[in-house]
Structure 1
């Protein structure tokens, strides 16, 4: 009997509360409300085998959104002190343990997970290991704009996203993703495709468009410091990233634009708001 898989099983015995299905060796109960009308002894049925709330094997003719080894997007129906529970199309929700979370989701979030069997022989969900399951054969070109779902934060390399929930990709670590949550779907632009098929993407607009937004944000930051920034474009990339959320290159581009438009002055190593 294959736990977590859809399989062909034969009706071996009828009982008052359903029928028993057999694979030739083991048997499992298919509850009465799941039995197809007119089905009889010896008939073959496609069924999914999982465990009920008492950890007993049980069959269903309802098909789950994911089976063992598959990955996909599921909605979080509940979060409690033991983990989260995901709606996968069956009466009993799929359990997501805390130890299998890359970041704790909230009720209603739609997140990428895979299905596995834990040490207690139960079907569970995991937010880990998604990277290995995503395709490395993207149908995109550099410059394409694509929907991407965030599935993992916090790596030294950057933020991992799945393009259209299928293809492997990453937002570089210098881009500010602090306003996003796990499971968020965002628009990204393809900036490169590696030889192994993995995509590099950006959440920023093309430089000439993004520069306007960056420049306005810097002006607001200068105003918050009473008209004088406490650091200059010669500051370390880490300081600039921490204070502005921008890479050093983007910061310098925006400063250059503001200076050209005479909205700031650059004297004595200080960046000041220009006085009208």
Structure 2
């Protein structure tokens, strides 16, 4: 069975003047247009292609790679807005529709949004939605405290930045835990800090516990070397100054310089820290 909106491995059934016709045990007439046909092929050969609907709503195959696939989230730019909704550039010839009902706020041409791609059960067309929370599930987890996870930031709130965890769950990085750039729509690496009783996920950007002390100390040490052996920072420095210079919290900074001091690699003075 060919699955629209995903990659399928299909067999070349026949070659015609308009392209190759591909299929599997159930279908044998899915067109791969000439512009996507490989230079060398044989009848009976298998090809991995992406399947979607063309401008005439007919199933079609392509070797182009879309920026988002069915049942996944992505960050896409609006190419056009008309009476039907917003149309996103997802790397294919036909743009991906976001109907007005799937827009919490009206999308604008040229702007990018985090969206979810799915098959509309009524029209059987691939569409996208910016109503992100509707497609996130925090009922069941296969996650553990400290586990590294992929995150996709999608909204900023008073508490912090809401993120999509492992393309499935909703998480939050609190504002006071953000010590490096965390841009909407840009994938990043995070770590599970807490799984609350209400199944809310707290996410941080650095490993938990003792694991983060050594890399933190190394980062401070490298910055000291790059700065000529001195940094005008110490345990009484303003947290904002530390975050601006080192992209880390004051708590992490104090732990890091503690490690370096115990290893006799730095001196801590009134005006900053120095390499020994």
| Secondary structure of the corresponding residue to residue 107 of structure 2 | helix
Between the aligned partners of 1:104 and 1:132, the Cα distance in structure 2 is 19
CA pair 100-199 structure 1, distance change in 2 beyond 3 A: farther
Give the alignment's Cα RMSD to 1 decimal: 4.2
Between the aligned partners of 1:104 and 1:253, the Cα distance in structure 2 is 39
5+ residue gaps, structure 1: 1-32, 35-50, 106-110
- Which one of the candidate residues 125, 128, 133 is aligned to 1:125? 128
Asked whether 1:270 is paired with 2:275, we answer: no
CA positional deviation for 1:216: 1.3
* Residue matched to 2:89: 85
Between the aligned partners of 2:260 and 2:174, the Cα distance in structure 1 is 26
Aligned residues of 2:232 and 2:273 also touching (Cα < 8 A): no
Between the aligned partners of 1:184 and 1:137, the Cα distance in structure 2 is 23
Between the aligned partners of 1:257 and 1:149, the Cα distance in structure 2 is 30
5+ residue gaps, structure 2: 1-28, 31-52, 62-68, 82-86
* Residue matched to 1:208: 210
- Which one of the candidate residues 249, 264, 271 is aligned to 1:247? 249
Between the aligned partners of 1:114 and 1:251, the Cα distance in structure 2 is 41
Q: What TM-score, normalized to structure 1?
A: 0.57
Q: What TM-score, normalized to structure 2?
A: 0.57
Between the aligned partners of 2:135 and 2:241, the Cα distance in structure 1 is 36
Larger Rg: 1
CA positional deviation for 1:74: 5.5
* Residue matched to 2:187: 184
Aligned residues of 2:154 and 2:185 also touching (Cα < 8 A): yes
Between the aligned partners of 1:80 and 1:114, the Cα distance in structure 2 is 16
CA pair 80-204 structure 1, distance change in 2 beyond 3 A: same
CA positional deviation for 1:200: 1.0
Deviations 1:232-272 (A, max 9, x none): 221222221111111111111001111111111112x2333
CA positional deviation for 1:144: 5.4
Deviations 1:96-145 (A, max 9, x none): 699369x748xxxxx6425799xxxx99634x431343112132454252
Between the aligned partners of 2:230 and 2:186, the Cα distance in structure 1 is 38
| Secondary structure of the corresponding residue to residue 90 of structure 2 | strand
CA pair 161-238 structure 1, distance change in 2 beyond 3 A: same
Between the aligned partners of 1:153 and 1:225, the Cα distance in structure 2 is 36
